[in-house]
Amino acid sequence: MDQPTPPVSSWLEVDVDLGFALFFLLILCLFLVVTIVRCAQTVVDPYGAISTSTYQEEQINN
C-alpha cells in the first residue's frame, strides 16, 4: 500500500529546541567567519589597523 504523503506545511514545522540550536549554530558560524577574516587581514597588513601615533616616537616637551 502507498503511504500517504504529509502536507507541505508539515515540512516547514521545526521543533523549537532544534530551531534555537540551528539559530545559535548559524550565529556561531558567522562570528567564526568574521574572526577568520579579521585575523587574515591582520596577518596580511599588521600595521594597517594601528594609528601612526601609536608606534611613532612622540615629542615630549618639559
Q: pLDDT digit string (tens) for 31-48?
A: 999 999 999 998 998 887
CA–CA separation, 42 and 49 (whole Å):
8
Task: State residue 34's pLDDT score.
Answer: 97
Over the chain, what HEC string results?
A: CCCCCCCHHHHHCCCHHHHHHHHHHHHHHHHHHHHHHHHHHHHHCCCCCCCHHHHCCCCCCC
pLDDT digits (tens, 9 = 90+) for 10-37: 666 768 999 999 999 999 999 999 999 9
Q: Quick check: pTM over 0.75?
A: no
